[in-house]
């Protein structure tokens, strides 16, 4: 009985003697567990940072990829437009070459035509009533000189010829008064000329004492018409409003 009690006391004493060691072991174990947990969390944090970094890189690469795709689409559209432009320019070059061939043919055909037109207007002026002889002769001479100039385009030459025809056409629809020299009986005098379209041409001396009409030559007309010619001169100069004029007209013979 006494022996059993002694054994229990020994065991209890042994247990009490081992408790600090067990406590220390437990503390170390807990510390190791905490360190392990901290290391795991640190490692997890680093892993998360790597994941976040990879995610940012992925987003950046995706943005760059999309930008490259947009640039590629833009370049594709631009290249397609350039292809269309090149095709259009090739067609334009073909058209221009064809036009150049036609221009050479046109020049060979139109130059003789323009020379003929100048000859016709010169002949027309020579057969017309002799109003503004210096001005009209100068215009024709200028056209003849123009045709020999290499620095003037064919289009400009043609335009000037048409302009001369237009001026001659306008003469038939207007009346005009101007002063000029009249050679009559080997005597040159300054007189007032009155042109009524292309129908008639009259003159009146500056003193108003003599008048005449062109009818294949200058013919004097009666004193009764001098007042009408004077009135016609004022109408042509816009000094009087348009009014009825009683004047003789040329008939190919004697003025009537």
Residue 1 forms part of a structural domain: no
183, 216: one domain: yes
- At 191 the pLDDT is 95
116, 162: one domain: yes
Residue 83 forms part of a structural domain: no
- At 235 the pLDDT is 93
227, 204: one domain: yes
**139 is in which domain, residue-wise?**
107-171
The total domain count for the chain is 2
- At 251 the pLDDT is 62
Q: Which of the residues in the chain have pLDDT under 70?
A: 1-27, 30, 97, 99-101, 103-104, 250-256
115, 166: one domain: yes
Residue 57 forms part of a structural domain: no
Residue 16 forms part of a structural domain: no
**Of 115, 111, 121, the residue nearest 166 (C-alpha):** 121
Q: Tokens in use for 129?
A: 């009533």
- At 192 the pLDDT is 96
3-state secondary structure 48-117: HHHHHHHHHHHHHHHHHHHHHHHHHHHHHHHHHHHHHHHHHHHHHHHHHHHHHHHHHHHHHHHHHHHHHH
Q: Are 69 and 77 in contact (CB under 8 A)?
A: no
166, 182: one domain: no
- At 253 the pLDDT is 47
> Is residue 246 helix, strand or coil?
coil
Q: Are 250 and 242 in contact (CB under 8 A)?
A: no
Q: Which of 139, 171, 203 is the last residue of a domain?
A: 171
114, 164: one domain: yes
Q: Are 200 and 249 in contact (CB under 8 A)?
A: yes
134, 162: one domain: yes
230, 188: one domain: yes
Please measure the distance between the N-terminal and C-terminal CA atoms of the chain and give it in whole angstroms.
189
Length of the chain counted residue by residue: 256
190, 158: one domain: no
Rounded to whole angstroms, how far apart are CA atoms 220 and 184? 11
Residue 126 forms part of a structural domain: yes
- At 14 the pLDDT is 47
Residue 199 forms part of a structural domain: yes
- At 83 the pLDDT is 77
pLDDT digits (tens, 9 = 90+) for 174-229: 999 999 999 888 889 999 999 999 889 999 999 999 999 999 899 998 888 999 99
> Is residue 47 helix, strand or coil?
helix
Residue 223 forms part of a structural domain: yes
- The Cα diameter of the chain in Å comes to 193
232, 205: one domain: yes
- At 19 the pLDDT is 54
Residue 132 forms part of a structural domain: yes
């Amino acid at each position: 009985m006494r022996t059993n009690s002694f054994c229990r006391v020994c065991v209890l004493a042994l247990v009490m003697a081992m408790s600090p060691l067990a406590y220390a072991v437990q503390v170390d174990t807990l510390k190791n567990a905490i360190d392990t947990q901290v290391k795991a969390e640190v490692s997890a944090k680093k892993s998360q940072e790597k994941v976040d970094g990879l995610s940012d890189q992925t987003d950046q690469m995706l943005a760059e990829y999309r930008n490259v795709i947009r640039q590629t689409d833009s370049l594709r559209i631009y290249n397609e437009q350039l292809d269309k432009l090149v095709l259009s320019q090739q067609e334009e070059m073909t058209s221009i070459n064809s036009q150049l061939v036609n221009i050479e043919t046109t020049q060979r055909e139109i130059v003789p035509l323009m020379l003929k037109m100048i000859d016709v207007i010169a002949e027309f002026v020579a057969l017309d009533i002799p109003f503004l002889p210096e001005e009209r002769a100068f215009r024709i001479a200028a056209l003849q000189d123009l045709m020999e100039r290499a620095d003037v385009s064919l289009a400009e030459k043609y335009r000037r010829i048409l302009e001369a025809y237009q001026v001659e056409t306008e003469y038939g629809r207007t009346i005009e008064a101007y002063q000029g020299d009249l050679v009559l009986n080997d005597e040159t005098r300054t007189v007032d000329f009155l042109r009524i379209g292309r129908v008639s041409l009259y003159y009146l001396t500056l003193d108003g004492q003599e008048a005449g009409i062109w009818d294949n030559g200058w013919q004097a007309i009666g004193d009764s018409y001098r007042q009408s010619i004077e009135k016609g001169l004022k109408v042509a100069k816009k000094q009087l409003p348009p009014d009825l004029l009683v004047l003789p007209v040329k008939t190919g013979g004697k003025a009537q």
